[in-house]
Structure 1
């Protein structure tokens, strides 16, 4: 009896909750499913399931074996899928959701380079700063920025995302360069209105200092607008370097209190399932890995320009 078939029969019984439903899913008789599981238990020398007339229950050994067996089966399916990808190649429409500012500033070259390498893949790119429901809205991949919380989705880190505080030299000449967080309360602020649950940017207490009166502040839901306003001398911003890095490199903005820079967030590729991942999705994720450089090219503040990858 094939060990993998027995393992798959056992896992299907566990997921379906009965031998009958497992048999229907596997397109075999309940008796054969039961035989597979019994032979597996005999081989392991341990009872995996306690059976009743209505349902089955995992034993302690069954719980431990089920976790490892599921991983083994996922790895086998993943390997088969990858080998099949080599034969068929990436093709079809790839639906991507991405944050507005990141996509407009950095995503077009990557997508063009990807399609040159995979000409049979068409791209449907939708820009939105809200957290989309990948499954309900029919996306293959969502690019998200932030500190991701645990979920049923699979997330792959693509690049670190730094947040820096900065302002225009003219603004700092007029209002003074803060030397400590305590000196921030006397400044004007340009705040990003989305919080972490929406767009991935944490609410930073720098822009809500104790004793600060919000006279002359600005709130906007687009980081590019805030950076442009900061360049014009409107106030202080805390923004990711993929938006403000070019202005810093050109001397239009100056970093404030770099020693208090918050922990970096991440740019993640999020997708629904690892098992039987479509070739177009796998190829796009692999293509993004390392594309922006290490560190990302937008963090090269000492350069006059921020060259795109070849």
Structure 2
């Protein structure tokens, strides 16, 4: 007995209510469908169907078995689809949520390269720094930066995000370069207002007893703007290198307190747990992971500045 064929035959009979209807759906004879089901019942030593001249009915055991058998067959179909569905077949609309600063700086060339390789995938990209509800809001993928909480969602790490404390040379020349975390208390700290304990390390967590109001004259929910203000010489800022790498490379910002650089965080692709992952989702995640790599291009150009961090 081919157990997979027998399970498919039983599920078809259970769903359609007759052997003839199941035979039509599976393009087999009613006699073969009946044989499959009888062999399955013999194998399980359990009656799954009560047969009458007009209709079949599931037994209690049959009701339980059909649920589990359908899940097993779905898993098999998913495995075969993942093996057989080549990425070149990716197509359809792909909805992505991404953080504003990262997306505006780095997603345009990635998306261009991705759609050159996968022309049948359309992308709807929504920029938002809040944590969207992927399922409720209908997103296929959410790109998130930070330390992820445990959830029912699946997350794949795409690349490493390094954080540095930095300031403009003009600011440091006027106010001095802090040589300790304690010394930060006497400086103007430019604070990213969306960061919290779940998203990554905060300089003000270092400053025990210091209030947010004492930390600086500006807080903002856009890291790119904070970097621009820091370049103008207004204060010290904690920045991901994907935002400030050009300023560091040009010398308009300098890394300070490299020995106290926070632990790296990561960029993740988060998606809902589904029985069958669409090829368009899998293709984008694989492409993005290869595109950025473990050491992304913005850190590669900062090799000298980051050696000491």
Structure 2 residue aligned with 1:234: 234
Structure holding more helix per residue:
2
Q: 1:220 Cα shift?
A: 0.4
**Per-residue displacement from partner, 1:242-301 (whole Å, max 9, x unpaired)?**
111221111111111111111111100111135211111111111111212331111135
Aligned-partner Cα distance in 1 for 2:221–2:8: 49
Matched residue, 1:205: 204
2:185–2:215 contact (8 Å) kept in structure 1: no
Question: Match for residue 250 of structure 1?
Answer: 250
Q: Which residue does 1:127 correspond to in 2?
A: 127
Following superposition, the deviation at residue 41 of structure 1 comes to 9.0
What's the counterpart of residue 48 of structure 1? none
Q: CA deviation at 1:144?
A: 0.6
Matching residue of 1:82: 82
Written as runs of structure 1 = structure 2, the 5 A alignment for 1:1-310 is 1-3=1-3, 27=15, 39=43, 76-86=76-86, 89-196=89-196, 200-205=199-204, 208=207, 210-211=209-210, 214=214, 216-302=216-302
For 2:41 and 2:186, the matched residues in 1 are separated by: 71
Q: Following the alignment from structure 2 to structure 1, what is the Cα–Cα distance between the partners of residues 127 and 103?
A: 7
Displacement of 1:80: 1.7
SS of equivalent residue, structure 2 residue 292: coil
Q: Is the 8 A contact 2:95 2:139 kept in 1?
A: yes
Q: Quote the Cα distance in structure 2 between the aligned partners of 1:25 and 1:238.
A: 63
Deviation by residue 1:16-56 (Cα, 9 ceiling, x = unmatched): xxxxxx97996277xx99996994699xxxxxxxxx99x98
Q: Tell me if the contact between 1:231 and 1:253 (Cα under 8 Å) persists in the aligned partners.
A: yes
> Aligned residue for 1:47?
none
Give unpaired runs (5+ residues) of structure 2: 18-35, 47-59, 305-309
- What is the alpha-carbon distance in structure 2 between the residues aligned to residue 27 and residue 178 of structure 1? 72
1:192-235 deviation line (CA, Å, top 9, x unaligned): 1113488x344443574545762752100100000000000110
TM-score by length of 2: 0.74
Q: Is the 8 A contact 1:5 1:36 kept in 2?
A: no
Assess if the C-alpha contact under 8 Å between 1:23 and 1:33 holds in 2. no
Does the C-alpha gap of structure 1 residues 179 and 203 become closer, same or farther in structure 2, counting only changes over 3 Å?
Answer: closer
Give the match for residue 49 of structure 1. Answer: none
C-alpha distance in structure 1 between counterparts of 2:181 and 2:45, whole Å: 64
Q: 1:172 to 1:216 in 2, by over 3 A?
A: same
Deviations 1:51-92 (A, max 9, x none): x99x98xxxxxxxxx9xxx8x877634332224523981111
Q: Distance in 1 between matches of 2:45 and 2:165?
A: 61
Root mean square deviation, CA, Å: 3.7
